[in-house]
Amino acid sequence: MNETTKSIRSARFAIRAKTQVEPQIAVILGSGLGPLADKVEVDAILPYSEIPGIAQSTVHGHAGRLIVGSLAGKDVIFMQGRLHYYEGHPMSDVIFPTRVMHALGAKTLIVTNAAGGLNPDFTPGDLMLITDHINMMGNNALIGPNDESLGPRFPDMTDTYTPELRQLVLQRADEEGIALQQGVYAAWSGPTFETPAERRFLRLIGGDAVGMSTVPEATAARHMGMSVLGFSVITNVATGLADQPADDHLEVLAVAEVAGRRLARLLDRVIASMP
Ligand code: HPA
């Protein structure tokens, strides 16, 4: 057994000591989206400090705890406060909680984020269902020795964002009257927001939204054979065109919080109807 596998087991052991719930679905909450966990019937709340191997989140708007319980009749685990690469965490730390949630039983990962809209048709407050991603972080979450017990050395990344689940999301959104954009998420390491020229470049290569997260966790989930769904809350115009306003993290959080309520309603319906 290698070091990663040992660490995953220790973390799982510490969580199992607090809750018997075996979550089927794992949800990672992005910036300003913490309140999405409000509807969870809580069995246990575990600050990251109580789980061996999980680093502390240092970003304003990220609580830093796991919430285990049930939502819409399903056993779930929510990660309230994710770890970002730009905080200085090695990629192996960024994806460690995803690995632990999988080890607890999660077969599906739902990953959420706040993102800038590269697509000129997007407006702050829009929700985007992620159809695919482009990794521009300058690193890959799986670099390093591969543990074959977790997944293959060269994972296939076709259909990383599970088509059947995306279809389900589109149906539920339609029924609920929730407008959804769809598109490609481009991941940038941050912590700087992108320059206008970088944003025009990201648009040119096929990005619809840009953010500083999600791709590492989605990659780790794909590596382990999990189903994946991803949602971006578009919090700001990021077209890199002349009319683009300056970026402000507090504005990002404020828009995410309001639009996050719509995303919470959609997630509740989606989770209820998941296989
Ligand atoms: N760029 C990167 N990350 C972000 C943005 C953005 O414009 N908005 C919210 N997160």
pLDDT of residue 38: 87
Tens of pLDDT, residue by residue over 108-156, are 999 999 999 999 999 999 999 999 999 999 999 999 999 999 999 999 9
pTM: 0.95
Mean pLDDT of all residues in 190-208? 97
* Ligand 1 pocket, CB under 6 A: 114-116, 188, 193-194, 210-212, 235-236, 238, 247, 252
Phi-psi region of 196 (alpha: psi -120 to 50; beta: other; left: phi over 0): alpha
Q: Which CATH number belongs to the domain containing residue 244 in this structure?
A: 3.40.50.1580
Say whether 84 is catalytic.
yes
Q: What total of structural domains would you count in the chain?
A: 1
- Closest-CA residue, ligand 1 atom 9, reads 115
Say whether 227 is catalytic.
no
Name the residue among 55, 46, 101 with its Cα closest to residue 224: 101
CA of 182 to the centre of ligand 1 (A): 17
Q: How high does pLDDT run on average in the chain?
A: 93
Say whether 37 is catalytic.
no
Tens of pLDDT, residue by residue over 20-44, are 999 999 999 987 777 788 889 999 9
- Closest-CA residue, ligand 1 atom 3, reads 211
**CB-CB contact of 142 with 223 (8 Å):** yes
pLDDT of residue 61: 56
| Residue span of the structural domain in which 233 resides | 3-273
pLDDT of residue 3: 80
Say whether 87 is catalytic.
yes
**CB-CB contact of 31 with 3 (8 Å):** no
pLDDT of residue 37: 87
CA of 211 to the centre of ligand 1 (A): 4
Catalytic residue among 106, 114, 259, 274: 114
- Closest-CA residue, ligand 1 atom 6, reads 116
Catalytic residue among 48, 57, 84, 238: 84
Residue 63 pLDDT exceeds 80: no
pLDDT of residue 240: 94
Say whether 62 is catalytic.
yes
pLDDT of residue 150: 94
Q: Residue 156 has what DSSP assignment? A: -
Alpha carbons 97 and 116: distance in angstroms, whole number: 25
pLDDT of residue 172: 97
Ligand 1 test: best mutation among 212, 231, 249, most atoms within 8 Å of CB? 212
Residue 181, classed as helix, strand or coil, is strand
